[in-house]
Chains A and B, each alone.
Chain A
Amino acid sequence: MQIAVLMKQTFDTEEKIELVGGAVAEHSVKYIINPYDEYALEEALRLREAHGGSVTVISCGPGRAVEALRTGLAMGADEAVLIAEDGLAGNDRAIAAALAAAVKSLQPDLLLAGLFAVDRGAGSVALQAAELLGLPHASAALKLEIRDGAGGGGRTAVVERDTEWGVETVEVPLPALVTAQQGLNEPRYPSLPGIMKAKRKPLREVTAAELGLSADDLAPRTERVALLAPPVRAAGRKLAGTPGEQAAQLAELLQREAKLF
């Protein structure tokens, strides 16, 4: 089974993030693989272990994204593709178009991606790519199983997915996109031999133009006008008295001061 995994290199949003002059101070951030994409990659590696085939990791971003792809190779991916484009940050439709073009040339049986990236948090790119590729999707996977088509049908993915209405099990025909939710698996760490091997694995760099994308395909539809720090929340007050008095006071404050009831 040929599996492609979409990967983004993100800031580690758990670390402190400094905003200087309307931009993130690059010196203050640490770059990691988007944690949700790690779940996607781990699932791809497990499926390859079970069904054979190969795993390709694909990323679209600036040159530094190579580090994330190398880490993906060290975890066990077979090959990597970097769509090296500097100016596309925040331009979801262009990134989706570029990723879709790269995926198309690989013709994978299964496309995996994280549910969203922890930096921008939109969760839009992989699904836009699926639309451009004409692929079905199942999102927020908690469990993924590949089933061989019964009665002459093709292979399918059976996905238990996390929704607001409960855990839903869906079946979609392959090729399809599945996005990974936290809980799908526990990603492995790259091993030392894995890191050594990764250095010799194929890592291709292409540009959007080489993938055949036009200026129109990449044209943004929206633009950022400002990047702001969140409003700081001042600490309020601690109540005093016996637990009973405090409970009564709190109910009173929520009613009269916060006007909630």
Chain B
Amino acid sequence: MSDQSKRTALVYAECAEGKLRRVALEALGAARRLAGDGGSVHAVLAGGGSAASPALAAAAAELAARGAGVVHVIDDPALAGFAPEAYAAAIGAAVAAVQPSIIVLGHTAAGRELAPRVAAALKGGHIADVTAIQVPEDGGADAILTRPLYAGKAFEQRRLLPGASCVITVRPNNLPVAEPVEAGSEGKVAALAYAAPPLWTTVRDVVRKASGRVDLAEADIIVSGGRGVRSADGFAPLEALAKVLGGAVGASRGACDAGYCDYALQIGQTGKTVTPKLYIACGISGAIQHLAGMSQSRVIVAINKDPDAPIFGVADYGIVGDLFEVVPLLTAEFERILATPGS
């Protein structure tokens, strides 16, 4: 066995609204596999501001219980807002402390900004937006990482070159989360010294999305509306269904262009790429640019009044009908089912 099968991996465990994001646990799962059996896995948690400390402690405990050998916690006022240089330096501090050959982050808005900086600072590689990892029996060396190309029209598989260090960002919702380790073998939690760099970025204002909304990239269930919803109010039945299912609302560009909803909801080639367990397309024709953003969803449902709409070509289940009639019926149906325990 080469040294390569005993790697040190570091996970940047991203938090949002005071909680560990699920993608952080997916990144931890990836890091454990890539480190291999004899390897070591570290995590770094970074945050700051008044409410940060208890949130970081809870997140650290969870990471330690799921296979992070050491969780390095940085709690610093410089990390109160998202100044990328401050967060990149926090990851840099952990890199200096543990000398990892693999660093894993979520391919999220923050991860996409931090990973290239960390990679360049390390003179390492960056494999972005990874959707699958195959690890040979004997550990993490020669792992094959799969990522989409050309707006989902192809996939490439890459491997790390021997001796190189590499940053990997994993697409939310695609890889399994790290499983808890046996009681008694939890990792340690330790504070990590951090000298904030001179801050370049001043956050002037944040117009937050309605809180409590499930983030599209990480949502398990997405109810999506197209031009067929006909107005901003037309999204109301979709929102009601999403609420009952605990999902998020998305949209086609047709709906965004028509002004029925915010561009932040747009799914597709020029919007977000999503891979939920369930995608319900309502009044969406299924243009190729829309499919580029959602066709890897596990189960796709289409509701459209045109039986020839291309969306039916990718849907597992299709209902030909008026969304304003069908969606409320579905909401009622799920309200009934989900209210019955054990159903």
Residues of chain B lying within 8 A (CB to CB) of residue A107: none
The answer to whether A182 and B129 touch across the interface, beta carbons within 8 angstroms, is: no
Smallest Cβ distance from A227 to chain B, in angstroms? 5
Expressed in whole angstroms, the minimum distance between the Cβ of A229 and any Cβ of chain B is 6
Residues of A close to B221: CB separation below 8 A: 260
What A residues does B159 contact at CB under 8 A? 222-223, 225
Give the total of B residues in contact with A, Cβ under 8 Å. Answer: 93
Interface residues of B in 288-343 (CB under 8 A from A): 288-289, 292, 295-296, 298-301, 307, 312-322, 325-326, 329-330, 332-334, 337-338, 343
Contact in complex: B321, A165 (CB < 8 Å): no
A238 and B201: CB pair below 8 A? no
Q: Is the CB of B128 within 8 A of A224?
A: no
Chain A residues, Cβ within 8 Å of B233 = none
CA distance A154 to B205 in the complex (A): 21
Task: Name the distance in Å between B165's Cβ and chain A's nearest Cβ.
Answer: 7
Tell me, rounded to whole Å, the shortest Cβ–Cβ distance linking B91 to chain A.
12
Identify which of residues 106-162 in chain A touch chain B, using a CB-to-CB cut-off of 8 Å.
118-132, 136-140, 158, 162
Q: Which residue of A is nearest B221, CB measured?
A: A260
Is A255 positioned at the interface, with any CB of B under 8 Å from its CB? yes
Contact indicator B318/A237 (Cβ below 8 Å): yes
Interface residue SS majority, chain A: mixed
**Residue A19, interface by CB 8 Å:** yes
Is the beta-carbon distance between A137 and B277 smaller than 8 angstroms?
no
Q: Would you call A21 an interface residue if the criterion is a C-beta within 8 Å of the partner chain's C-beta atoms?
A: no
Q: How far is the CB of B251 from chain A (nearest CB, A)?
A: 14
With known contacts A127-B116, A221-B165, A239-B318, A164–B217 Cβ distance under 8 A: yes
Whether A171 pairs with B314 at a CB distance below 8 angstroms is: no
A26 an interface residue at 8 Å Cβ cutoff? no
B19 to chain A, nearest CB (A): 13
**CB <8 Å contact, B120 and A140:** no
Residues 222-252 of A at the B interface (beta carbon under 8 Å): 222-230, 233, 235-239, 243-244, 246-248, 250-251
Q: A118-B269, A237-B317, A238-B307 are in contact. Are A227 and B326 (CB under 8 A)?
A: no
Q: Of B153, B165, B300, B319, which one neighbours A13 at CB under 8 angstroms?
A: B153
Docked complex Cα distance between A235 and B318 (Å): 9
**What's the interface size class on A, roughly?**
35 or more
How near does chain B come to A216, taking the closest CB pair, in angstroms?
8
B161 to chain A, nearest CB (A): 6
Q: Could you say which of B32-40, B207-215, B224-232 contacts chain A?
A: B207-215
B157 at the interface (CB under 8 A from A): yes
Is the beta-carbon distance between B166 and A139 smaller than 8 angstroms? no
A 166-192 to B, binary, CB cutoff 8 A, 1 in contact else 0: 111111110010000011000000000
Given A127-B117, A238-B320, CB of A165 within 8 Å of CB of B208: yes
Which of A90, A131, A233, A247 is the one whose CB lies under 8 Å from B295? A233
CB-defined contacts of B149 to chain A, threshold 8 Å: 119-121, 227
Min C-beta distance of B22 to chain A, whole Å? 13
Q: By the criterion CB–CB under 8 Å, are A225 and B157 in contact?
A: yes
Q: How far is the CA of A228 from the CA of B262 in the complex (A)?
A: 34
Q: Which of B44-52, B61-69, B107-115 binds A?
A: B107-115
CB-CB under 8 A from B264, the residues of chain A are 162, 167
Residues of A near B334 (CB, < 8 A) are: 251, 261
Query: How far apart sit A167 and B317, CA to CA, in the bound complex (Å)?
Result: 35
The answer to the question of A196 belonging to the interface, with a C-beta cut-off of 8 Å to chain B, is: no
Would you call A253 an interface residue if the criterion is a C-beta within 8 Å of the partner chain's C-beta atoms?
yes
A93 to B215, CA, bound (A): 31
Is A164 in contact with B108, judged by CB distance below 8 angstroms? yes
Cβ of B284 to closest chain A Cβ, rounded Å = 16
Cβ of B128: which chain A residues have Cβ within 8 Å of it?
Answer: 121-124
Q: Which of B100-137 contact A (CB under 8 A)?
A: 108-110, 112-113, 115-117, 119-121, 123-129
Provided the pairs A254-B299, A261-B338 are in contact, do residues A168 and B330 lie with their beta carbons within 8 angstroms?
A: no
Please name 16 pairs of A and B residues whose Cβ atoms are closer than 8 Å in the assembled complex, sorted by A.
A13-B269, A93-B125, A118-B150, A122-B147, A127-B113, A131-B116, A131-B120, A167-B264, A168-B207, A222-B127, A222-B166, A228-B156, A235-B313, A246-B319, A250-B333, A254-B301
Apart from the given pairs A170-B202, A225-B159, A260-B277, 12 other A-B contacts in the complex at a CB distance below 8 Å: A92-B126, A119-B150, A124-B116, A124-B128, A140-B109, A158-B204, A162-B109, A222-B161, A226-B157, A230-B152, A246-B321, A251-B334
